[in-house]
Amino acid sequence: MLYIKLNAENNNHGNPVSQPFEGSVALPNELLSVYIDTMGFCDIEVTDDIVTAIIADTEAIEVYEATHPEPEPKEPEPTPDEDRDAMLVDLEYRVTLLELGVTDDAFQDA
């Protein structure tokens, strides 16, 4: 069983924690996924200090999502195989230039 704030601050009951605290109510495991889906922005019904129902506050969720957009995905780091392949291509390029008697400097001057 986890615990959340009974009284929401800024329309949010906060992250569930494993230990009870002053002003908390118990969140049964069967309601945890519903609570997580609401990101804590919900109205709760409580009986005997245990949450019995969760109603999503869709307006608060929309406001939160509008002010916290998803970050841009980062370029993934190359895998060891991709890194090795890039080094092999560079090596082949340099060996070819050496065989032809051409240097990189000739291309930079052009």
Per-residue pLDDT tens for 54-97?
999 999 899 989 998 888 889 899 999 999 999 999 999 999 98
* Of residues 110 and 79, more confidently modeled: 79
Is pLDDT above 60 for 110? no
* Of residues 103 and 84, more confidently modeled: 84
Give the residue carrying structure tokens 């291309």: 107
How many CB atoms are located within 10 Å of the residue 61 CB? 18
Amino acid letter at 31?
A: L
Q: Residue 32 — very low, low, confident or very high, per pLDDT cuts 50/70/90?
A: very high
| Contact residues for 108 (Cβ-Cβ < 8 A; gap 6+) | none
Q: Which pLDDT does position 11 carry in this prediction?
A: 76
Amino acid letter at 25?
A: V
1: nearest Cα among 39, 30, 27: 27
